[in-house]
Amino acid sequence: AFLVIIMIIFGSTGNLLVLMVVARCPTLKKSYNTFIASLSATDLLFNISIMPFYADSFYHRRWRFSKGLCMFHAFFGTVLIMCSSLHIALIAINRYFLVVHMSIYPRVSRIRILILQIVIVWLISIASVIPGAVGWHAVVRYTDQISRCTYVRSESKESLDIVFSMGFVLPSFVVFICYGLIWCKSKGSRKKLKLYKHPSQAEPYAPSRKRRPSQKRNTRKHSMKIIVVIFISFLFTYLPYSIINLADERGELNRIWYMSTSLFFWAGSCLNPYIYGIMNEQFRNAY
């Protein structure tokens, strides 16, 4: 319970900072930061509306509130978690177009298109839990094994399959593909930089019109560093909990496994603002 409270404070502070900085700094009101601000708003909502109930049930080892609130807590928490992971996929797609298809990036990054994508993410997240919310192959109750209200695995397989597919498999696939293609593009750019160092092997051009190779190289290194951190963070926060849930179909694993992987899982909502915001130089300068 103490760790969950620390996460609530840490995550809420980070997400609030990102939202405040984006709102107050005109230089950060760019299309790309729309996704980061929306992700922070989603994670902040999770921090303040869902995680306090986790802390309470962890401490008391029981659900002290109504059955209706138990169901709402489980379904709404699922919506927010799915929405967060799908936002990460949207950011990956956005970076893919920015790096790999820069010529068409201005068209796909118009504010109306970005808002439409965010709305679609919310609709997908809500639609994925509706079958369970109306009672289709889903039973929700407090489970002592994980100390919170959640789907009962043995009676909710179909609903959980939908949630898992749309909330983890789909965003994971998008993140892996997009950052993989960005990595390949970066390797190709490094080869071009090597040609620049040997003018006899490359076409001459006016270097004054473009940034110096050292500047490009430093920018690219920083971008790839952020991508690696995002990728590792995504794996460590989402993958362990998902593997546990897939492997333990009968719910027979020890409670400690669920508790530890859940903490990693929830840590994602606390780390996102620091990864996407504070690692960004513009955000750091604004802070």
Tens digit of each residue's pLDDT (9 = 90 or more) over 143-157: 887 888 888 877 777
Please give the pLDDT value at position 76.
Answer: 94
Look at residues 153, 164, 174, 176 and name the one whose alpha carbon lies nearest to residue 125. 164
Please give the pLDDT value at position 209.
Answer: 46
Q: What is the mean pLDDT of residues 155-163?
A: 83
* Structural domain boundaries in the chain: 2-286
Q: Class for domain 2-286, per CATH?
A: mainly alpha
Please give the pLDDT value at position 119.
Answer: 96
Q: Which residue has the higher pLDDT, 243 or 64?
A: 64
Please give the pLDDT value at position 192.
Answer: 53
Model confidence at 278: pLDDT above 80: no
Which range has the top average pLDDT, 185-194, 197-206, 270-279?
270-279
Please give the pLDDT value at position 217.
Answer: 53
The set of long-range contacts for 176-179, using a CB threshold of 8 Å and a minimum separation of 24, is 178/89, 178/92, 178/93, 178/95, 178/96, 179/92, 179/95, 179/96, 179/227, 179/230, 179/231
pLDDT per position as a tens digit, 169-181: 899 899 889 988 9
Model confidence at 206: pLDDT above 50: no
pLDDT per position as a tens digit, 88-145: 999 899 889 988 888 888 888 888 899 999 999 999 999 999 988 887 777 888 888 7
Please give the pLDDT value at position 188.
Answer: 65
Determine what percent of the chain is predicted with pLDDT higher than 90: 25
Model confidence at 204: pLDDT above 50: no
Q: What is the mean pLDDT of residues 192-201?
A: 49
Please give the pLDDT value at position 127.
Answer: 93
Model confidence at 207: pLDDT above 50: no
Q: Which residue has the higher pLDDT, 199 or 273?
A: 273
CB–CB of 76/126 below 8 Å? no
Q: Rounded mean pLDDT of the chain? A: 80
Model confidence at 225: pLDDT above 90: no
Those residues whose C-beta lies under 8 Å from the C-beta of residue 199, and which sit 6 or more positions away, are: none
Give me the count of residues in the chain: 287
pLDDT per position as a tens digit, 68-89: 999 999 999 999 999 999 999 9
Confidence of residue 208 (pLDDT cuts 50, 70, 90): very low
Look at residues 163, 91, 164 and name the one whose alpha carbon lies nearest to residue 131. 163
User: Within a 13 Å sphere around the CA of 243, how many CA atoms are in the beta-carbon half?
Assistant: 10
Those residues whose C-beta lies under 8 Å from the C-beta of residue 276, and which sit 6 or more positions away, are: 18, 36, 39, 40, 91, 230
Confidence of residue 51 (pLDDT cuts 50, 70, 90): very high
How crowded is residue 231: how many other Cβ atoms within 10 Å of its Cβ? Answer: 16
**3-state secondary structure at position 142:** strand
